[in-house]
Amino acid sequence: MTDLFDMRGKTVLITGGSRGLGRAMAQGFAEAGADIAVVSRKLDACEAAAREIEKVGVRAFPCACHMARWDEIEPMFEAVWSHFGKVDVVVNNAGMSPLYPTLPEATERLFDAVVGVNFKGPFRLCAVAGERMFNAGGGSIINISSTASINPSPNTAFYGGAKAALGVISQAVAAAYHPKVRVNTIIVGPFATDVAQHWPDPPSAANPRLTVSGMRIGAPEDIVSTALYLSADASRYVNGAQIRLDGGGWGMGRARADAEPIS
């Protein structure tokens, strides 16, 4: 069974790979033997992450790209392909989810920025990577969505809409490049990344796995096994799927007051 999760000799491109869930996935893939392309807006952050990843004994390539800028995406992908000679896995992880006070106060600039990073850019990367990987023999694309796509709040309306649209294009791209390229979606709930400190109900200081009100949230490393599964031969017959990764409690009521602390 371990051979089904072996990533040695594979190349993985991760957008938003310098921090948060992207950084956790980059580390997890590297520890499974994959070479990593770390992509984000800031080259210095990519370079710092790449240096740490290389300590595992794999190759890492830092590459700057703003995922809301259509014209930057194909050159970024070609730079990664040229560096490694191939790309086996693409993880569309880069995203942004700024809150706004009320629906009328949401600005057009904020709307365009959120839709650009969470939908427009991932669509373009899916198209560019899917076509190239299909012609080269195959690959896997993982799109990182959010529970806001299925259970949105008033102040995540267009973020949830963009993530819902990402789930739709995942299925369309899966159909376009089937059976050589598999395209699947991970629908994530709240995770204890640096962004969580800006929530109205952030993780508690005493326990970063719980919000102040007591709801459980994920640690960044909790996403690694699901991403690894969807990238490896273990999921070779999984295509067009959407996997919900939120601990099962979000939208199902508040945590019990007498629940045991999470270590």
Per-residue pLDDT tens digits of the chain, which is 263 residues long: 667 888 999 999 999 999 999 999 999 999 999 999 999 999 999 999 999 999 999 999 999 999 999 999 999 999 999 999 999 999 999 998 888 889 999 999 999 999 999 999 999 999 999 999 999 999 999 999 999 999 888 888 999 999 999 999 999 999 999 999 999 999 998 886 766 566 567 666 666 666 656 677 788 899 999 999 999 999 999 999 999 998 875 544 444 333 443 33
Amino acid, res. 123: F
Domain range annotation of the chain: 2-192+224-244
Single out the residue of 153, 157, 146 nearest to residue 106, CA to CA. 157
Both tokens of 158, joined, read: 């267009």
Instruction: Report pLDDT for 257.
Output: 38
Based on the residue annotation, tell me whether 229 is a catalytic residue of this protein. Answer: no
Enter the pTM of the model: 0.89
Instruction: Report pLDDT for 13.
Output: 98
**DSSP secondary structure code for residue 94 in this structure:** -
Instruction: Report pLDDT for 214.
Output: 65
What are the backbone angles phi and psi of residue 26, rounded to the nearest 5°? -60, -45
Both tokens of 209, joined, read: 């796995």
Give 2-192+224-244's CATH code, choosing from 3.40.50.970, 3.40.50.720, 3.40.630.30, 3.40.50.150: 3.40.50.720
Active-site annotation holder among 159, 177, 229, 237: 159
Instruction: Report pLDDT for 260.
Output: 42
CA–CA separation, 163 and 168 (whole Å):
9
CA–CA separation, 187 and 248 (whole Å):
12
DSSP codes, 109-170: HHHHHHHIIIIIHHHHHHHHHHHHHHHHT-EEEEEEEEGGGTS--GGGHHHHHHHHHHHHHH
Q: How many residues appear in the chain?
A: 263
